[in-house]
Amino acid sequence: MINLILFGPPGSGKGTQAARLTEKYDLLHISTGDLFRYEMGNNTPLGQEAKSYIEKGELVPDSVTIGMLRNKVEANPDVAGYIFDGFPRTVAQAEALDVLLGERKEEVTALLSLEVDDEEIVKRILERGKTSGRPDDNDESIIRNRIEVYNSETAPVFDYYDKKGKSQKIDGIGSIEEIFDRLCTAIDKEI
Ligand code: C5P
Ligand code: MG
């Protein structure tokens, strides 16, 4: 199996690139942000709980996010691999992912981190907000909080996999095609 973590701050292009990578490598794209938005759209109890965090740009508690991720993986066992987008967001989530894959004698193949500076992120997310319909994309203070949460809670996940020799930084500035090529070059070295 190929199990990739597509990493990087909000607005770094994870979703855009994951959609292309899943096609090329025949993987299942799992975006926890998209799963939360689906639950919120259906006003489920999970969606209602997640909403209170997401609208502030905070992280949903690990137990909720890990449970949802596990359900999604277990519902799709017969795939060539996964691209995790927006997960893990904390070291506890990374440890839970390792346990989940370990139960199937699998492991994370690589973490690819899209590097984009803060001002570019704010600009990109505000632009995306014009059409995404996401309240958390339309308020600069929420966007800046998401970046802060990324730096404090999520960035350590890079180091966690770096210690295992699995983390790679990818320049996230350029055309979608250029960034896709950089990601493919990195992935092809790992498989
Ligand atoms: O990944 P994405 O940026 O779409 O996530 C949107 C929001 O969902 C995050 O800002 C956060 O509030 C929540 N989220 C989370 N934990 C994750 C993924 C998303 O709390 N692992
Ligand atoms: Mg996304």
Stretch 7-21: mean pLDDT: 98
DSSP state of 89: -
Active-site option among 20, 70, 72, 128: 128
pLDDT tens-digit series, residues 158-179: 999 999 999 999 999 999 999 9
Mutational pocket test of ligand 1: of 14, 16, 36, 37, the residue with most ligand atoms within 8 Å of the beta carbon: 36
pLDDT tens-digit series, residues 44-101: 999 999 999 999 999 999 999 999 999 999 999 999 999 999 999 999 999 999 999 9
Q: Which atom of ligand 1 is nearest to the CA of 149?
A: 10
Active-site option among 14, 37, 124, 182: 14
The ligand minimizing its distance to the Cα of 36 is 1
pTM of the full predicted structure? Answer: 0.98
pLDDT above 90 covers a percentage of the chain that reads: 99
Contact status, residue 92 vs residue 100, Cβ threshold 8 Å = no
User: Burial level of 123, CB count in 10 A (0-12/13-18/19+)?
Assistant: middle
Stretch 1-28: mean pLDDT: 98
Q: Which atom of ligand 1 is nearest to the CA of 10?
A: 3
What phi and psi, each to the nearest 5 degrees, are found at residue 85?
Answer: -125, 115
Q: How far, in Å, CA of 154 to CA of 189, rounded?
A: 25
pLDDT score recorded for residue 139: 97
Stretch 128-133: mean pLDDT: 97
pLDDT score recorded for residue 176: 98
Structure-token match 């139960």, residue found: 103
CATH topology of domain 2-190: Rossmann fold (3.40.50)
Active-site option among 37, 89, 124, 182: 89
37 C-beta closer than 6 A to ligand 1: no
Q: Is 104 a catalytic residue?
A: no
Q: Is 89 a catalytic residue?
A: yes
